[in-house]
Amino acid sequence: PAGGLSFRLCSTRVTLEGINKPVIDRIIRVDHAGEYGANRIYAGQMAVLGRSSVGPVIQQMWNQEKDHLKKFNELMVAYRVRPTVLLPFWNVAGFVLGAGSALLGKKGAMACTVAVEESISDHYNSQIRTLMEEDPEKYRELLQTIKQFRDDEREHHDLGLEHDAEA
């Protein structure tokens, strides 16, 4: 270091002692991939429907997904979890799914949203049960994050239904 000064970077890592590392790695890796894919789906939908009447609704949901992805990016660093090797696939497949469903129109995009968000909500519920069985106090912060994101996904599901997904 210049001038003989030394410094230490602050760590963003959590205490990994006593956690069930394989379970936490799997949860964070899968959730990161899912939120990455969701971001790509909404990017595809916005590319097609961004200037339509449903554009602001899609943008609102996408903004929340961006926050979710940011949080899981932080958790990947904190828990030292490697991302899935399938991210390039999710990049392309998510965008194609989003754009493809949007090419069917507003109803197609919303039907895609409802199906994806329902699946993600169920997945988050399963993870919540797993963490509750493990140790709810030890995983309190991760549980709070997953519960909040699950609730956001349910909101997206309901918004999709409000915007003619079933039609």
Q: Which of 66, 67, 69, 64 is nearest to 28 (CA)?
A: 69
Ordered mean pLDDT values, 10 residues apiece, the chain (167 residues): 43 72 97 97 98 97 98 97 96 98 97 96 98 96 98 97 95
Whole-prediction pTM = 0.89
Half-sphere exposure in the Cβ direction for 52 (13 Å, CA): 15
- pLDDT of 16 reads 77
- pLDDT of 9 reads 40
Considering the chain, what percentage of its residues have pLDDT values greater than 90? Answer: 89
C-alpha–C-alpha distance, residues 78 and 15, integer Å: 9
Domain residue ranges of the chain, discontinuous segments joined by +: 21-165
Give the pLDDT confidence of 88-123 residue by residue, as tens digits. 999 999 999 999 999 999 999 999 999 999 999 999
- pLDDT of 2 reads 44
Residue 29 DSSP symbol: H
Q: What's the topology of domain 21-165?
A: Ferritin (1.20.1260)
CA dihedral 30, 128, 68, 15 (to 10 degrees): -80
- pLDDT of 18 reads 87
